[in-house]
Amino acid sequence: MSQKIWVTGDQTIDWALMPDGRYTTRSADDRLHVAMKLYWHAGGAFQLASLSKAALHYAGQGTARTVRPALSLKQRDITAYGSSYNQSFSVQRDYGDVKRVEQFLGFRGHNTQVEPGPLKFPSPPKNGDGEVILIDDADLGFRNSKSDWTKVIELAETDACKWVLLKISHGIKDDHRDTLWNAIRRLLGTSENLRKKLIVVTAASRLRDADAEISKGLSWDQAAEDVLYEIENHNKLTTLRACPRLIVSFGPSGAIFIEHDEAGSLKWRLTYNRELLEREWTNAHKQGMMFGYGSVLCSAIACELATSGDDPEFNRAIKRGLIAMQKLYKQGFKTPSSGDLDRQFRIPDEIFEISKEDLLDKQLLSQRTAGRWTSRRSSLRQASISLID
């Protein structure tokens, strides 16, 4: 029986304008002589499915596979208007031989009048082989579509599911709306089965969007303490304390993995680049921007969950994810060769090809700590026990 990563959630079509050669216009006439290419990319849950497949392939797990959202990409939907998908737009260009984003242009929500809509749910796994449920919640509609996420929760509590990996990209806050996360949070108080399975992944930048005070350039220890303190004390983030397992990414330079139980026992593991802090990594990589970092990290974690049984090595998965994220920046997006009518750009699968000799692997350290939830940062520091793996 093959393992499956079962993917659902928000879906997007990402559009990229790519100047061909000279693209500086000095007059209205010049606009007719600046060649521009247009590419598209299947994002959101579609991207998570394709990246998870790539992660499984490079982990040597050829029998495992992903099940993506049931709605196929039809040609009528590969358009920026009249489409049933959410749309994002950017300008990309070459930085040397590497294609990255020069400017993000914005977003256009899906057309709700077009059928079928973007939230059509995959058929439930059969024969108990849906080991991992992977959900992309980007606050683009899925979290508010109760008819769809109700099916997710029903499946999550069955023996057909071993793990639930929830990627939350935007809108992290404590409120009382009838959303996916609030439904999960309520169940965590009564369902021991779900508590054993749930992992939530988000980014430090999303916590900062909720006004959390998380330092960027002081030290990795301070950044970790800031995350722990803000989750415990910030009135917009206390909802995250319900997470039995929480992974907070600092982009390609580090991530913290937090585990806690109802009694207040707390463990966390910080994996970080020994040479660069979060801000320093950003300052050292200013030749364009990339998107998809969170999906790359989630795909590496999903791969580990799907292939390691009941005892996944989260540290190994996070390290693989961080290395792949850094390789994503280094390699950039891939576009089709001239003459290819497909017009799709993509994240290269090869970013998941990682060896022990990889320089990026040698730059990553993992610090394991343990303690309890506290109300003072100083107490938190005194309660921790640090080990370097």
- Helices 45-58/293-307 angle, 10° precision: 50
Query: Which of helix, strand or coil describes residue 113?
Result: coil
Beta bridge partners of 43: 12
CA distance 282 to 286: 7
DSSP strands (E only) in 141-253: 163-168, 198-203, 245-249
CA distance 383 to 183: 33
DSSP strands (E only) in the chain: 4-9, 11-20, 35-44, 65-67, 86-95, 98-108, 132-137, 163-168, 198-203, 245-249, 254-260, 265-273, 364-372, 387-388
CA distance 59 to 165: 19
In the chain the domains, ranked by start, together with CATH numbers, are 9-388 (3.40.1190)
Biggest distance spanned by C-alpha atoms of the chain: 70
For the chain, 389 residues long, give each residue's pLDDT as a single digit of tens: 456 888 888 888 999 998 876 666 667 777 777 778 889 999 999 899 899 999 999 988 755 566 665 445 666 667 777 677 889 999 999 998 899 999 999 988 876 554 444 445 555 555 555 688 999 999 988 898 888 888 888 888 888 788 999 999 887 766 667 889 989 988 888 888 899 999 999 999 999 998 899 998 889 989 999 999 998 888 888 788 888 999 999 999 999 999 986 666 778 999 998 888 888 998 999 999 999 999 999 999 999 998 887 789 999 999 999 999 999 999 999 998 766 656 889 999 999 998 766 666 777 877 766 555 444 444 444 334 333 34
